[in-house]
């Protein structure tokens, strides 16, 4: 499980223990939800380590929004993509700033069902996507992997099948 907390949208309870309790997070805290921070979080999650990503900006890729309009990555797209998330087909070898912003902001919303999430994973060719609270505030509330989505969907289908057949 990973939790990404942004400066403006962060629930204070995430970082502060209740009165009389010690504040402990039994995992790794990654500072920054940029490319390096998200890559580190992905590697830690794959190793089974709980991760909390802290980001001071209110939205992902904020520094890219402030860079000059003609900026391109100076590394090849295949070396700059987030783990499990390829740049879309047709992206320049050295992506423009807008492509990088889109790449860092492909996301899911809580109200999406498993079918919609699976379609987004197919569309983006991603193994994991950020979950945001809504399209207006765009507060990051978590990270969902394709494998977890498919496993939970399969479990729910099996439970419903057993329910209908009278096995439950």
User: Cα 94 vs. chain centroid, distance in angstroms?
Assistant: 23
Q: Residues 91, 129: one domain?
A: no
Q: Residues 124, 154: one domain?
A: yes
Q: Residues 21, 66: one domain?
A: yes
Would you state the pLDDT for residue 84? 67
Which residues in the chain come in under a pLDDT of 70?
1-23, 84, 134-140
Would you state the pLDDT for residue 30? 86
Half-sphere exposure of 39 (CA within 13 A, CB side): 9
What are the residues facing 107 on neighbouring strands? 130
State which residues form the domain around 36: 2-70+106-164
Would you state the pLDDT for residue 14? 41
Sheet holding 128-132, edge to edge: 107-108, 128-132, 140-145
Q: Residues 96, 116: one domain?
A: no
Would you state the pLDDT for residue 94? 96
Q: What CATH number does the domain containing 50 carry?
A: 3.10.580
Q: Residues 48, 129: one domain?
A: yes
Q: Residues 137, 123: one domain?
A: yes
Q: Residues 158, 77: one domain?
A: no
Would you state the pLDDT for residue 106? 73
Which of 53, 56, 27 minimizes the C-alpha distance to 40?
Answer: 53
């Amino acid at each position: 499980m990973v939790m990404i907390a942004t400066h403006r949208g962060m629930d204070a309870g995430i970082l502060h223990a209740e009165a009389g309790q010690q504040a402990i997070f039994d995992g790794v805290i990654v500072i920054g939800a940029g490319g390096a921070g998200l890559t580190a979080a992905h590697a830690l999650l794959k190793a089974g380590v709980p991760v909390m990503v802290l980001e001071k900006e209110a939205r992902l890729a904020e520094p890219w929004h402030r860079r000059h309009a003609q900026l391109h990555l100076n590394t090849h797209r295949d070396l700059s993509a987030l783990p499990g998330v390829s740049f879309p087909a047709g992206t320049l070898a050295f992506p423009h700033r807008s492509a990088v912003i889109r790449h860092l902001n492909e996301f899911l919303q809580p109200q999406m069902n498993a079918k919609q999430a699976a379609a987004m994973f197919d569309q983006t060719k991603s193994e994991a996507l950020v979950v945001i609270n809504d399209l207006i505030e765009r507060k990051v509330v978590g990270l969902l992997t394709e494998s977890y989505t498919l496993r939970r969907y399969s479990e729910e289908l099996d439970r419903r099948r057993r329910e209908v057949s009278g096995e439950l």
